[in-house]
Every structure is written in C-alpha cells, then in structure tokens.
Amino acid sequence: MGAGIIGIGRFLPEKVVTNADLEKVMDTSDEWIRTRTGIEERRIADDNTNTSDMAFAAAQKAIENAGITAEELDLILVSTVTPDRPFPSVSCMLQERLGAKKAAAMDISAACAGFMYGVVTAKQFVESGGFKYVLVIGVEKLSKITDWNDRNTAVLFGDGAGAAVIGHVKEGRGILSFELGADGTGGKHLYQDEYIIMNGREVFKFAVRQMGESSLNVLEKAGLTKEDVDFLIPHQANIRIMEASRQRLELPVEKMSKTVNKYGNTSAASIPISLVEELEAGKIKDDDLIIMVGFGGGLTWGAIAMRWGR
C-alpha cells in the first residue's frame, strides 16, 4: 500500500479585495492586473484572524473528510512563511487546539513550494510504517508582509489555508513519484525584508522553466507520459506561468486548475485550496492522474504525480 491523500479541507477569509478596490488606493488598474497575472480578486484575513486560525479551520475539515479523529494523528506538518510568531510553531499551536495529543509537530519553510515539501515528507513517514496519519497544511497570511504601497507585489497575494491528511491508500493509487529541489543562488530574487521583495522578471523566467521541467520529470519517474495526465494543479502565482506549464504537458485548458483569478497567490496554500475547488466541482475523479507542481522563494520547487483515490 502506498501513501496518498485521504482527506482534504480549506479555509478562505470572507473579505474580498477586488482589482477595483486596489485602483482606489494605488497607481494600478484592473486591466493591468488581469492581463499580466490573471488575478481579479483575492481574500484578505482581518486583524483578528491569525495564520493558526486559518490552519485550524482547514485542518478540522480535512480530518472530518478523512473520517478520522484528531487523536489519531501521528504528525502535524505546517508549511508557512507567515507564522503567528517565531515560536511556538503553528503546528504546535494546532496540536494543542485540535487535541492531537500523540502527534509530533513541526513547521516547514519552503515558501510557495511548501505544500509539496510537506506532502513528500508525510509520504516517507507513512510508507516507512513509522506513522499512520499525517496532517499537512499549507497556510499563509501574506497580507501582513505585503507592502500595500508597492503596486508590483501588492496586487499579487492573498490569504488562506488548505489541508490534507496523508495515509495509506489502495495499491496503484496515491503518490507515484515526486521531485523536490532548491537553488539558493536565486534567493536574492524573492525574499522578505520587512515586506515581500521580488524581482518579477527573474522569478518569472525561473518558474516557467522549472514548473514545466518538474512536471515532465515526475511523469518520467512514474513511467508515464503526457498523454496519461488527467488534471494539472499548478501553483496559482500567475496565469502566464501556469499556461506555460499546461502547454509543456500539452493539456487542454479545461484540464488545468485556475483559481488565481479568485484568490490570487496564496503561496503554500494555493495548491491544496485549488485541489479542494476542483474536487468539489467534480473535475477530479477516482483513478485520475493528477500533477501538482509549485515553486517559491528560496528558490524552491516541487512536483508530485498522484493517482487520485483512497
């Protein structure tokens, strides 16, 4: 038996900030944002909602969806670059709040590739027999590290959380292959000082190349081809980067998840948020082959080929 996703959940703040809202407070336009990024609106958490609050809400849904209890969790992994505070970790805060008394807990910092890092880490524990159930959460409150006077970055980001329970699945299903990588020499192109600082041109070039390459690499590792792919869930950073990945896989438009228009770039949360969206829409079915691929600050990247189903 392999390891796969047996339960999912997400949380999105209620407050919607549209491009028209941003037009009123900075030198930008709806047309400029949409044509360059594909983003139309994003969700922003209020001052009373912390990263741990969003993670908790998504976690509860994933645990319920998996048909288990929090007490059965063996490990909690939280991927975030916006924790409530440096320590204790968000994962430890969740362990207490969920009542997951026997679970170990740690946070992972891999920026927008964080959910990929978390799922692959969980896979190792489950397949080794060390743990039975691992909760992986991608969550960000990027609004608190966004410079709302910088029109080049302020239009891009949103807040939210997505969670998955990793456990044993039937033979032939689950995670078939993966790729994780990092290039620390590119860290200067995307980092946080007080706020997010980004060299958009360099990040764009890196992402277009790496997302496509990683998607093809995990297919090769799994002994599969582009023709086998049923659905692509790319990190929701920029529609042009996402389209480049889709074209490398030669997939029709309807086989790629697109939530960037509604939620913006939610970093580590974007892939699990999108996964929930597509499952609820009935676009992913049991035994479908899905590719999840992301990139982020570090620079980091990760991709997974997964046969959907429990």
∠ at Cα 302 (232, 257), nearest 5°? Answer: 20
**Active-site annotation holder among 112, 168, 217, 238:** 112
Concerning whether 265 is annotated as a catalytic residue, the answer is: yes
CA distance linking residue 80 with residue 55, whole number of Å: 10
Phi/psi at 144 (nearest 5 deg)?
-80, -10
Residues with Cβ < 8 Å from 194, sequence gap 6 or more? 145, 147
CA distance linking residue 62 with residue 9, whole number of Å: 4
Concerning whether 92 is annotated as a catalytic residue, the answer is: no
Contact status, residue 296 vs residue 267, Cβ threshold 8 Å: yes
> How many Å separate Cα 245 from the centre of its chain?
16
For residue 201, what are its two tokens? 């041109």
CA distance linking residue 270 with residue 265, whole number of Å: 7
CA distance linking residue 310 with residue 303, whole number of Å: 20
CA distance linking residue 172 with residue 309, whole number of Å: 9
Among candidate residues 239, 267, 29, 38, the one with its CA nearest the CA of residue 140: 267
Q: Tell me the DSSP string of 130-141.
A: S-S-EEEEEEEE
CA distance linking residue 186 with residue 41, whole number of Å: 29
> How many Å separate Cα 168 from the centre of its chain?
21
**Active-site annotation holder among 19, 50, 238, 265:** 265
CA distance linking residue 272 with residue 270, whole number of Å: 6
Active-site residue numbers? 112, 235, 265
